[in-house]
Structure 1
Amino acid sequence: MNLSPDIEKRYTQEQLSAKEAQRLAQEIAFAPVAFQLSRLMLKFGILQLLNEHPQGLTQPEIVSLSNRSPYAIQVLLEASLSIGTVLVQEDKFFLTKAGWFLLKDESVRVNMDFIHEVCYQGLFYMEETLEKGTPEGLKVFGNWPTIYEGLSQLPKKAQEKWFAFDHFYSDHSFKEALAIIFSEPIKKLLDVGGNTGRWAMECVSYQPEVEVTIMDLPQQLALMRKATDGKVGAERIKEFPANLLDENTAFPSGFDVIWMSQFLDCFSPEQVISILRRAARAMNSSSRLYIMESYWDRQQYETGAYCVTQISLYFSVMANGNSKMFYSQDMLSYLEEAGLEVVKIYDHLGKGHSLFVCQKREA
Structure 2
Amino acid sequence: MTNQHGDPLDEVRHFMKSRVILSAAQLDLFTLLDRNPSSAQTLAQTTKADLRALTRVLDCLVTFGHLIKTDDIYALTDKGALFSSDHPDSVLPMVLHLTHIWQNWHHLTETVRRGTNPHRQSVVHSGSEALTAFIGAMHVVGKNLARDIAASLNLSPFKQLLDIGGASGTYTIAFLERQPSLRAVIYDLPEVLPMAQKRLEAHSLLNRVRLVAGDFYKDPLPTGCDLALLSAIIHQNSHEENLALYRKIHDVLEPGGCLLIRDHIMEPDRTHPPAGALFAINMLVNTQGGDTYTFEETKAALQEAGFRTVAWVRKGPQMDCLVQAFVSDHA
TM-score (norm 1): 0.62
User: 1:309 corresponds to which residue?
Assistant: 277
Taking the TM superposition and a 5 Å limit, the aligned residue runs for 1:94-109 are: none
User: 1:148 corresponds to which residue?
Assistant: 124
Could you tell me how far 1:30 is from its partner in structure 2? 4.3
> Within 2, Cα distance between the matches of 1:327 and 1:343?
12
Whether the aligned pair in 2 keeps the contact of 1:135 and 1:316 (CA below 8 Å) is no
Give CA-to-partner distance per residue, 1:302-352, whole Å, 9 cap, x none: 9x944333333333333x322123333322222222222414512239x55
> Within 2, Cα distance between the matches of 1:294 and 1:254?
28
Whether the aligned pair in 2 keeps the contact of 1:266 and 1:323 (CA below 8 Å) is yes
Give CA-to-partner distance per residue, 1:125-177, whole Å, 9 cap, x none: 33455537457231xxxxxxx32344xx343xx55653443223322222232
1:260 corresponds to 2:230: yes
Q: Which amino acid aligns with 1:126?
A: L
- Helix, strand or coil: the match of 2:323? strand
Could you tell me how far 1:261 is from its partner in structure 2? 0.9
> Within 2, Cα distance between the matches of 1:239 and 1:39?
33
Could you tell me how far 1:218 is from its partner in structure 2? 2.1
Taking the TM superposition and a 5 Å limit, the aligned residue runs for 1:47-196 are: 72=56, 113=95, 116-127=98-109, 129=111, 131=114, 133=116, 136-138=119-121, 146-150=122-126, 153-155=127-129, 161-196=133-168
Q: Which amino acid aligns with 2:256?
A: S
> Within 1, Cα distance between the matches of 2:283 and 2:326?
28
User: 1:204 corresponds to which residue?
Assistant: 176
User: 2:40 corresponds to which residue?
Assistant: none
Whether the aligned pair in 2 keeps the contact of 1:128 and 1:136 (CA below 8 Å) is no
Q: What CA RMSD, in Å, does the superposition of the two structures yield over aligned residues?
A: 4.6
Q: Which amino acid aligns with 1:267?
A: N
Whether the aligned pair in 2 keeps the contact of 1:297 and 1:327 (CA below 8 Å) is yes
Unaligned runs of 5+ in 2: 31-50, 66-78, 84-88
1:36 corresponds to 2:19: yes
Alignment CA distance shift 1:275-1:103 (3 Å):
same
Could you tell me how far 1:41 is from its partner in structure 2? 11
> Within 2, Cα distance between the matches of 1:180 and 1:326?
23
2:292 to 320, 325, 328: 325
Q: Which amino acid aligns with 2:106?
A: F
> Within 2, Cα distance between the matches of 1:172 and 1:348?
15
Alignment CA distance shift 1:154-1:250 (3 Å):
closer
Alignment CA distance shift 1:238-1:76 (3 Å):
closer
Name the count of aligned residue pairs: 290
User: 2:46 corresponds to which residue?
Assistant: none
1:234 to 182, 206, 211: 206
Could you tell me how far 1:241 is from its partner in structure 2? 2.5
> Within 2, Cα distance between the matches of 1:32 and 1:111?
19
Could you tell me how far 1:280 is from its partner in structure 2? 1.4
> Within 2, Cα distance between the matches of 1:112 and 1:220?
16
Greater share of helix: 1
1:269 corresponds to 2:239: yes
Could you tell me how far 1:353 is from its partner in structure 2? 0.5
Q: Which amino acid aligns with 2:158?
A: I
User: 1:54 corresponds to which residue?
Assistant: none
Whether the aligned pair in 2 keeps the contact of 1:136 and 1:321 (CA below 8 Å) is no
Whether the aligned pair in 2 keeps the contact of 1:129 and 1:321 (CA below 8 Å) is no
26-35 or 258-267, which moves further after superposition? 26-35
Q: Which amino acid aligns with 1:119?
A: I
Give CA-to-partner distance per residue, 1:284-304, whole Å, 9 cap, x none: 542111111123549xxx9x9
> Within 2, Cα distance between the matches of 1:41 and 1:282?
46
The structure with the largest alpha-carbon Rg is 1
Alignment CA distance shift 1:163-1:283 (3 Å):
closer
> Within 1, Cα distance between the matches of 2:140 and 2:150?
16
- Helix, strand or coil: the match of 1:219? coil
- Helix, strand or coil: the match of 1:356? strand
Unaligned runs of 5+ in 1: 1-17, 46-67, 87-101, 139-145
1:358 corresponds to 2:325: yes
Could you tell me how far 1:121 is from its partner in structure 2? 2.7
Q: Which amino acid aligns with 1:137?
A: R
Whether the aligned pair in 2 keeps the contact of 1:126 and 1:136 (CA below 8 Å) is no
Could you tell me how far 1:185 is from its partner in structure 2? 2.9
> Within 2, Cα distance between the matches of 1:177 and 1:276?
21
